[in-house]
């Protein structure tokens, strides 16, 4: 079963000096999955508590169609965690999809 999702990836608790390397690692996973045209460029922002955050999200105007999202999202979460851990240990990584319908 396929669903239309708005995808978001948040990375927190990282060293500022590692931002570019983390973004490169995330971008590589996105490219390997063939989704580079679906995601907007990474942004460095503040979360609602004022903490630094790297945010990568799909275009909010165009949902991404994902088959078996209940399997795919946890797999992607693990891939992002693994890629970031190679750059820096201890980052908080959250990848999720919001229903676009």
61-85 pLDDT, tens digit each = 999 999 999 999 999 999 999 999 9
**For residues 33 and 17, what is the distance between their CA atoms, to the nearest angstrom?**
27
Sign of CA dihedral 33, 35, 39, 42: positive
**CATH architecture, domain defined by 2-99:** 2-Layer Sandwich (3.30)
**For residues 95 and 73, what is the distance between their CA atoms, to the nearest angstrom?**
7
**For residues 48 and 18, what is the distance between their CA atoms, to the nearest angstrom?**
22
Q: What is the pTM of this model?
A: 0.92
Mean pLDDT of 49-62: 94
What 3-state DSSP class applies to 89?
coil
């Amino acid at each position: 079963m396929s669903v239309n999702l708005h995808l978001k990836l948040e990375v927190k608790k990282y060293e500022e000096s590692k931002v570019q390397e983390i973004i490169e690692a995330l971008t590589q996973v996105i490219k390997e999955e063939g989704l580079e045209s679906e995601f907007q460029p990474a942004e460095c922002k503040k979360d609602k508590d004022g903490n630094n955050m790297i945010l990568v999200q799909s275009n909010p105007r165009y949902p991404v169609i994902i088959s078996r999202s209940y399997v795919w999202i946890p797999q992607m979460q693990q891939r992002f965690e693994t890629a970031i851990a190679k750059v820096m240990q201890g980052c908080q990584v959250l990848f999720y999809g919001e229903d676009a319908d």
